[in-house]
Every structure is written in C-alpha cells, then in structure tokens.
Amino acid sequence: MSEDHAKMKYITYVSQAERPYAQDELARLLSHSRARNDADDITGCLVYRYNEDFERGNFLQVLEGPDAAIDDVWRRISSDSRHHTIVVIDEGPVAERMFSDWSMGFRNVDAGDLASAAGYADLGSDAFWDRASGGTLPTALTLLKSFHDGD
C-alpha cells in the first residue's frame, strides 16, 4: 500500500444486512473486497454479527485511504443492495493508516466478542439501531482497532 498522508481520510459506518450471510458468502464478499481495496489503496476492517434475538445480520466497518478512493468506495457501499439502514458513525481526515496491513480485516463476531464494547454490546438490537439513528453511538475505532491489534 502506498502512503499519501496529506490526502487520506477514513469513514466508519454500521448497516443491517438485507439477510443473514453464511460463512461461504462472507468469504466470497471478502475476497472480492480485498482485491478491489488493494487495487484502490484502501485498508480497513469489517465486522459482521448475526443477532439471533432480532434475526438480523449487521455490518460495522472502517475504511481508510486516499480521499478520492474512499469517496468512490462509499458511493458503491451506500447503494449496495446487500445492506440497508446505513449509518455513518465517524469520518474525517487521517494522518496515517490505522489498518495499514489489512486490505480488509474481518471478524465474524458473537455477543461475547462485543460484551465489553461500550455502545456496541447489543449490535443488531432495536435499542442499538435507535441509538445509531439518533447519532448517539460512540466512536467504533477503538473496538475495530482491538480486533486488528489482537490479530
């Protein structure tokens, strides 16, 4: 990955999967995303959680890279029919990459993985989506970095 610190940014969002995804489907999605991200100089982390209580899959993702590349991938993501209820949690300029060695890190998490994550322990619940819609979710960067640093 090349570095252009002057013109890099990140975006973090959550969304609901349009349906539950099996492991093999997630693997195909990741394979395609990693190849595209590598070509576009984008790095980041994707978390997927299926919430059994609410019967919905949920994505939490951070992307970082050159401004134009992030703008392009965001246009694709925000119009992708595989998910809906897309809420941007945080975005802005970044001086250096947080996920420099991951074209797209991935974790398929369960409730235990998120138990101590303030604001995210109930990812996928109605209360979570109420907070997301109201703009009251805390930044997810610490949570996502913990998956990266623990890898």
Task: Detail the DSSP E strand segments found in 30-143.
Answer: 43-51, 56-66, 83-93, 105-109
pTM (predicted TM-score):
0.86
The mean predicted confidence, pLDDT, of the chain is 88
Containing structural domain, residue 88: 5-149
CATH code where residue 36 lies: 3.30.70.100
Least confident of 22-31, 61-70, 112-121: 112-121
pLDDT digits (tens, 9 = 90+) for 77-93: 999 999 999 999 999 99
Work out how many domains the chain is built from and give that number.
Answer: 1
Strands 56-66 and 105-109: what pairing? unpaired
